[in-house]
Amino acid sequence: MGQPESGEHRTAGESTLPPGQRLQRGWPVTHYGPVPKFRPERWEFQVFGATADGGKHSWNHAAFSALPFSTVVADLHCVTKFSMLGAEWGGVLARRVVEIAPPAADVTHVMVWAEYGFSANMRLSDFTSDRTVFATHKDGELLTAEHGFPVRLIVPHLYAWKGPKWVRGVEYMTADRRGFWEERGYHNIGDPWAEQRYSYQEEPGDGPEL
């Protein structure tokens, strides 16, 4: 991957914990199901759905790895109540992907798809945040398979389930719909500062219309 283009530097001491969270010194492995086997010759990253040109955009692993590399120093807040502060995430900014493969004008949300059909929905504004990154590295080292290699999404201002491991693509959507964990009782937005953990906490407008 190319040389770092930009970075944001913040130490753990400058971070604070959202309500209900505890400081985690290490990085626990948390996921549902098996760890997928990476096959570079078969791997493909896609952007599809309501794209501006109506087509599908795709990159193989070599092409995705050649996209501009950026670093973001940001926290990770897990809904299981641990927070890891001040990690450096390296990879491809989500807004860079949006610039290369733009959405149609009426897109409001995205669905991020990962291996085994896992998915996470979010507002387009959350996805295009300056700090949302398709991470390939943490603290200068390649991610391990258990932590999402070759690509995982990091959305620092949302709970970590909104950033799936083993990401394979992004679907642009003109209306919201729930992803894997959202269909199983987790909050549709997932703001840790508001403790939006579970769907029963949702207010009108937080989730898709029934």
What pLDDT, on the 0 to 100 scale, is given for residue 34?
A: 82
Does position 32 have pLDDT exceeding 80, yes or no? no
Q: Give the DSSP per-residue string, the chain.
A: ---B-------GGG--PPTT-EE-SS-----SSPPPPP-TTT-EEEEEESBTTSS-EEEEHHHHHTSPBEEEEEEEE-TTSEEEEEEEEEEEEHHHHHHHSPBPTT--EEEEEEGGG-EEEEEHHHHTSTT-EEEEEETTEEPPGGGTTT-EEE-TTS-GGGS-SSEEEEEEESS----TTGGGTB-SS--GGGT--BGGGPPTTSS---
Is the model more confident about 152 or about 29? 152
pLDDT in tens, 164-199: 999 999 999 999 999 999 999 999 999 999 999 999
pLDDT band, residue 33 (cuts 50/70/90) = confident
**Which stretch of 29-33, 57-61, 165-169, 181-185 has the lowest confidence by average pLDDT?**
29-33
pTM of the model: 0.89
Lowest mean pLDDT among 29-33, 50-54, 122-126: 29-33
Q: For 116-127, what is the mean pLDDT?
A: 97
